[in-house]
Amino acid sequence: MTSPTPPTTPATTTTTTTPSPITSASRTPDPARPEGPDGALFDAIATEHGVIYGYGLVSAHSTPDVNDLVSAAMRTHRKQREEGIARLTGRGAPAPLPAAGYQIPIDVDEPDDAATLAVRMEEDSAVAWRAVLEQATTTEDRTLAVTALTEAAVTAARWRAVLGTSPTTVAFPGGSE
């Protein structure tokens, strides 16, 4: 799986890599990005912005039989984004704003392309939330990260089933093992 073009961000010290979300064309680091665990949460929120944008494209190219899956995924990602923003701002840290535009890593012209993009976005989300989990210093952040990581893994499995991909699950979501 190739990565879309993310903005340059400082490297993390975890075993996973910084997520490679669908993202804006900007390649400069966000000067407001906090360091440490809040930086991982900042990155996860930025990923969620891109995923929510991407699901608009998935919705436009999906067949009606997966509308419920698209709706549920969008609702879940919006909830995770809002919860992450509330945590950062509650600690006095800045939250990333959505970009004006996003670069999509594949051409989406038909339902299979839309499902492939959805799998890709869920995998990117899993990477981002796993990084939050690995760097979390509070029970609340760990709980949010585990929930978001689990949701991404389950939703990715559902999209793989739509594509007929086997296996539909991966052993360690968000990792390269």
The first and second tokens of residue 142, run together, are 């760990």
Cα–Cα distance for residue pair 81/112, rounded to 1 Å: 26
The type of residue at 177 is E
Residue ranges of domains in the chain, CATH in brackets = 36-163 (1.20.1260.10)
SS3 136: coil
Q: What is the pLDDT of residue 26?
A: 44
SS3 174: coil
Instruction: Indicate whether this model's pTM tops 0.75.
Output: yes
Residue 129 φ then ψ, to 5°: -75, -30
Q: What is the pLDDT of residue 5?
A: 38
Q: Mean pLDDT of residues grouped by 10 in the chain (177 residues)? A: 37 38 49 89 97 97 97 98 97 94 94 98 98 96 98 98 96 89
- Provide the b/e sequence for 112-140 (b: ≥16 CB within 10 Å): ebbbbbbbbbbbbbbbbbbbbbbbbeeee
Q: What is the pLDDT of residue 23?
A: 43
Torsion, Cα of 16, 18, 23, 24 (10° steps)? -170
Q: What is the pLDDT of residue 22?
A: 58
